[in-house]
Amino acid sequence: MKIIIPLAGFGSRLRPHTFSKPKPLMNVAGTPVIGHVLNMFNDVEVEEFIFVTGYMGDQIQEHIKKTYPNTNTRFLEQKQLDGQSPAILLAKEHVTGPMLIGFADTIVETDLTKINTATDEAIAWVKHVKDPRRFGVVVRDSNGYVTQIIEKPESMENNLAVVGFYYLRDSQMLMSAIEQQINNNTQTKGEYYLADAMQILLDQGLQMQANEVEVWKDCGKPESLLETNKHLLEHGHDNSAQLQVDGSVIVPPVNIHVDAKITNSVIGPHATIGADCTITSSIISDSIIEQGTQIVDTVLTQSLIGSYTNVKGQSSTLNVGDQSEIGFE
């Protein structure tokens, strides 16, 4: 089976960080977002990962090839960012048989090994959410099969959201539906969404199961990135037991890179500190500090601090991109 991962977008909701790095390379609990996504498939029989890149795609390709040298990968470029469906269609000549589609800002916890022996025509992974208007939602019949997928609904009536994972036994069937979608100019709010292509297949009689996931974490906004960081630190990514930090207090769970220097500070809970950071006389909790950053005499919480940034003084919450300098008198 092949897995298609679209990651061409600008990541505009994560600016200023995504002015200098693509969203999939944002650090969460000590690992880039794309690393957590790929780790979800460790027990899945994968023939090839197909990455559809666009914005800062060279950074993504360089990272994946360096970090996963033994993984079979292919990189395609989406030059015109006109939606999810055209991104998937780029892989038409490279897929036959079953495939899985997973979006690069989505981390789920569920048993994906079932895909290895799946007999269903199609599967959509879903979860109940409080506000479904940002997502695609599914409508199911009495047998549990999906009858309708509604992208970004205006009402709150149906809150069973698609988490950004689809499985199809016949990949070319979806490619044909996407071509039909584009030919008919079927768009939602000015974009070609994958949900509309899936609806074409459902109208043609496709039987799609809806599998509910236990955990779904989004990495598309600062607040959701910090919430994902918190969850991951609480579930297996805390390295406080391996740390040796003298003269400072570490409050688990945290993920602090071995090359970070912590002096006279309190770190945690729910703090991620990147490589080559220097933290002096500061208190940091519920925050992500990217590599190479220096923080002195500062109190931070609920903050995202980019790489190679200097922060000095007192604050409570900051969202600062790479190579910045922030001072408080």
Q: In which element (H, E) is residue 180 found?
A: helix 171-183
pLDDT at 155 over 80: no
Domain 2-232: assigned CATH number = 3.90.550.10
Cα–Cα distance measured from residue 76 to residue 52, given in angstroms and rounded to the nearest whole number = 5
The pLDDT-based confidence of 119 (bands split at 50, 70, 90) is confident
Mean pLDDT of 11-33: 90
Q: What is the DSSP string of 271-319?
A: EEE-TT-EEES-EEESEEE-TT-EEES-EEES-EE-TT-EEES--S--E
The pLDDT-based confidence of 276 (bands split at 50, 70, 90) is very high
Residue with tokens 């993504």: 60
Q: How far is CA 274 from CA 2, 235, 302, in A?
A: 32, 19, 16
Mean pLDDT of 288-312: 93
Residue 228 CB coordination number (10 Å): 24
pTM of the model: 0.89
Domain 238-327 has CATH 2.160.10.10: yes
pLDDT digits (tens, 9 = 90+) for 47-85: 999 999 988 889 999 999 999 999 999 999 998 888 899
Mean pLDDT of 123-133: 85
Mean pLDDT for the chain overall = 89
pLDDT digits (tens, 9 = 90+) for 28-43: 999 999 999 999 888 8
Q: Assess whether the region 2-232 and the region 238-327 belong to the same CATH fold.
A: no
What confidence score (pLDDT) does residue 3 get?
95
Instruction: Return the domain boundaries, the chain.
Output: 2-232, 238-327
3-state SS assignment for residue 86: helix
What confidence score (pLDDT) does residue 135 get?
75
